[in-house]
Amino acid sequence: MELTTIWFILIAVLWTGYFVLEGFDFGVGVLLPYVSRDEADRRLVVASIGPVWDGNEVWLLVAGGATFAAFPEWYATLFSGFYLPLFLILLALIARGIALEYRNKSDSTRGWDRTFFWGSLAPAFLWGVAFANIVRGVPLDARHEFTGNLLTLLSPYALLGGVTTLALFTFHGALFLTLRTNGELRQTSARIGRQAGLAAFLAGGLFLLLTQLNDPKPATWVTTVVAAAGIAAALALIGRRDGWAFTANTVAIVAITATLFGGLWPDVMPALDPANSLTVTNASSTPYTLSVMTWVAAIFTPVVLAYQAWTYWVFRRRLTAPRDESPVRQGS
């Protein structure tokens, strides 16, 4: 297998990990005002992702760095053409991180909670818009420079992609909260999760159908996996099998990401005029650069994965909190 193919697959894996892990972070942020009755509930919701949210964002940093090193032409075209949406995502992520760090250090948490909500909702929607445009194709000239504008990126298909990721991540966040909390908060999360799951199933089904009609390369079995996993997640949630529900929805996110990247190959940035498309060949770095990167990835990736797995293992128990202002504690 050529190194360009290997790195395309690795970048797809990195984005998959980011959407799976950061996806429930976004969902928890979106659900904060809807599942919380009081400050004790809000502290519990925030605490559910407190030990892991910043580690989950590392997947985005590595995906961006790998794209820059392995496919610099792809990186340059993507960040110049999608400058405003990516800037808004970056701004939202910064605001979200600040809100998480400072909400417990302030006398009033309302403003920080609103910041956390919008800092979660905006990326959850905009990532879907961005990737829908990448899969559908964008206007590029012969020099692989983006020739469109912001309105070019806001087509109905792209907006549907944003609605799909927002609904899917909200469902993922609800499943995570049912897995990490007890009592009425878990029941409220499960109830909202059923509604979000239906929205994700409808929006995601329509989005995948349009993707298939636009480009027949994505395999039909992948769409079948997405549908089966989504149904399994909903049934498991109804049956109070929280772990199975979260796992099934994770499979659905993995399958959707595989569909998107499978639809791209061998392009990395399809153009409306296929002659101007960026491919794994004309967008890649030199073979020497890819070789060095491969050795570095082979050495350090297992270390990073082991550390993150250990973190999730340590904080695996459900959270409970008394109905007073005492700190959140880990429960069995």
Cα–Cα distance for residue pair 227/108, rounded to 1 Å = 43
Q: How much is the pLDDT for 228?
A: 63
267 belongs to a structural domain: yes
Calculate mean pLDDT across residues 135-158: 82
CA atoms within 13 A on the CB side of 161: 23
CATH of the domain at 119: 1.20.1630
Q: How much is the pLDDT for 329?
A: 47
What digits encode the pLDDT tens for the residues 204-240? 878 877 877 766 555 555 555 665 666 666 666 666 7
What digits encode the pLDDT tens for the residues 126-138? 999 988 888 888 8
159 belongs to a structural domain: yes
How far is C-alpha 87 from the geometric centre of its chain's CA atoms? 17
Q: Which of 85, 64, 84 is CA-nearest to residue 75?
A: 64
326 belongs to a structural domain: no
The secondary structure of 88-106 as a DSSP string is HHHHHHHHHHHHHHHGGGS
Identity of the amino acid at 130? A
330 belongs to a structural domain: no
Residue 107 has pLDDT above 60, yes or no: yes
Identity of the amino acid at 127? W
Give the range of the structural domain holding residue 185, as residue numbers without chain letter.
3-317
Q: What is the distance in angstroms between the CA of the first residue and the CA of the last residue of the chain?
A: 47
195 belongs to a structural domain: yes
Tell me the β-bridge partners of 300: none
313 belongs to a structural domain: yes
Residue with token string 């005002």: 33
Question: Burial of 289 by CB count in 10 Å (0-12 exposed, 13-18 middle, 19+ buried)?
Answer: middle
Calculate mean pLDDT across residues 247-276: 82
148 belongs to a structural domain: yes
Q: How much is the pLDDT for 331?
A: 45
- Please tell me the total count of domains within the chain: 1
Mean pLDDT in the chain?
Answer: 82
Of 4-8, 126-130, 282-286, the least confident: 282-286
Q: How much is the pLDDT for 120?
A: 92
Task: State the DSSP code for 55.
Answer: H
283 belongs to a structural domain: yes
In which band, very low, low, confident or very high, does the pLDDT at 92 lie, cut at 50, 70 and 90? very high
Residue 29 has pLDDT above 80, yes or no: yes
> How many other C-beta atoms are found inside a 10 Å radius of the C-beta of residue 291?
12
In which band, very low, low, confident or very high, does the pLDDT at 28 lie, cut at 50, 70 and 90? very high
Calculate mean pLDDT across residues 51-66: 85
In which band, very low, low, confident or very high, does the pLDDT at 62 lie, cut at 50, 70 and 90? confident
Q: How much is the pLDDT for 132?
A: 87
Q: What percent of the chain has pLDDT over 70?
A: 87
